[in-house]
Amino acid sequence: MDVSSLFQLNIGLDQSRMLALFLAFLPFFFFANWMVKRGTPLALRPIAGFATLKGLLGRAAEAGQPVHLSLGTAGIGDEFTADTTAALYVLEYLAERGAISGTPPIVTCANPTAFPVAQDVMRRAYRNQGMAEEYNPLQTRFIAPDPWLYTQPQKDSTAYAVGIMRMLNQQKLAANVMIGRFGDEFLLMGETGAQKHLTQIGGTSDARTLPFVHATMDQPLIGEEIYAGGAYLSDKPTHLGSLLAQDLMRWGIVGGIVAAILLRAMGWI
């Protein structure tokens, strides 16, 4: 592909910014991943939501009641793929431990692209534990797909929220976990769980939804904390390296801003 062909690609401003941010992140990621693989000790600050999540399955097994996990309304391949992926990392953790304890989570989603991926995560969890025959596909439920995907001009996830509210009222659950992309519907689901006195853990990257997270969740995950689930729950080097790279890049940006302010104040720029 020549240069003229590259310029013919219709890359929007948002995509260009994301590409630039991704390219800037890569050096930090490779350096952090190298440090983790060398055995550099990495101290993670405590996040109460993930600490509580680790103890949920023990309580669920004792009570004989499953944990509900909502993957949100986004899917795989759209602009909010990262939010759905964060929820899938939590699902991987819950599925593997649920397969061992005999209390697998109930998983719900509203996007047709997230549904088969969630099923595959559950299936692999049982297969990895040597219990493939005990896998039940009905543990993963596709509830009220967002009509925006098909005909509606405006996004409306109320139908998904109503389906979850009904399940929370009818199903005996040990806890309600909601991680992914949510909008105003988060308040409807979260309030229902609070009225049922369920232990609730939830988070999203949408700043407009965070007040609802604070109001209804026992253990809220704020913004980018949902992306740290892989590092806190699995301890895999790639996840730890990614988390360290985020911190390094954040400090690099802060240092650049401070340096620019100082240089500007001294009249050098």
Domains and CATH numbers, the chain: 48-233 (3.40.50)
Output the CA angle 106-45-74, nearest 5 degrees. 35
User: What token pair was written down for 158?
Assistant: 């109320």
Confidence (pTM): 0.78
**Band of pLDDT at residue 11, cut at 50, 70 and 90:** low
pLDDT on residue 35 = 74
**pLDDT higher at 213 or 255:** 213
Strand partners for 123: none
> Tokens 């890569």 correspond to what residue?
26
- 24 versus 178: the higher-pLDDT residue is 178
Work out the pLDDT band at 169, boundaries 50, 70, 90.
very high
8 or 26: which leads in pLDDT? 26
pLDDT in tens, 100-139: 888 899 999 999 899 999 999 999 999 998 988 999 999 9
Question: pLDDT at residue 8 above 60?
Answer: no
Q: What is the pLDDT of residue 200?
A: 95
Instruction: Give the whole-angstrom CA distance, residue 181 versus residue 226.
Output: 10
User: What pLDDT digit, counting tens, does each position of 20-65 carry?
Assistant: 766 777 777 777 777 777 777 766 777 888 888 888 888 888 888 9
Where residue 15 falls among pLDDT bands split at 50, 70, 90? low
- Residue 75 confidence (pLDDT): 87
d(CA 187, CA 173): 19
How many CA atoms does the CB half-sphere of 152 hold within 13 Å?
A: 10
Q: Which of 8-12, 47-51, 179-183 ranks highest by mean pLDDT?
A: 179-183
Higher pLDDT, 156 or 95: 95
* Residues in CB range of 64: below 8 A, 6 or more apart: 103
Q: Are 180 and 160 in contact (CB under 8 A)?
A: no
